[in-house]
Amino acid sequence: MSEMEPEFEAISAVTVFTADMAAAVAFYRKLGFEMHYGGADATFTSFHVGSGYLNLMAGRPPEALWGRTIIHVSDVDAMYRRAVHAGLQPEAEPADAFWGERYFHIQDPDGNELSFARPLTG
């Protein structure tokens, strides 16, 4: 009898670098993220995202890197309104994408891109 291949279940955590922990913590808190550990003066901060975590690490990566973290939310438009109301600047208003999600993008103070999305139904 052979062993079954493991299946991916979910992303547990995403970690990104920040040059300014205080600015990054303020940004994520404005978006409504709940802090699990760390804070403005910490070298490592972790926020709850559903059953996973978004982590911030103080410092700069060895090379310029780019990435996007996609976070499914219950209401993309409400998340967009929250960001705008908090004085943040999403790249564009929410839109329905050909790949079957409603989404918008926003960059944190270090240029890390967040995509808030929800699968389209029907």
Domains, in order of start, for the chain: 13-119 (3.10.180.10)
- Say if residues 13 and 51 touch (Cβ distance below 8 Å): no
Q: How far is CA 45 from the centre of its chain?
A: 13
Which of the residues in the chain have pLDDT under 70?
1-2, 6, 8-9, 61-66, 122
Consecutive H or E run containing 58: strand 52-58
Which 3 state secondary structure label does DSSP give 18?
strand
3-state secondary structure of 29: helix
pLDDT for the residue numbered 99: 85
This prediction has a pTM of 0.78
Instruction: Please give the pLDDT value at position 30.
Output: 97
Per-residue DSSP letter, 42: -
Angstrom distance (rounded) from CA 95 to CA 102:
5
Specify the pLDDT at position 120: 92
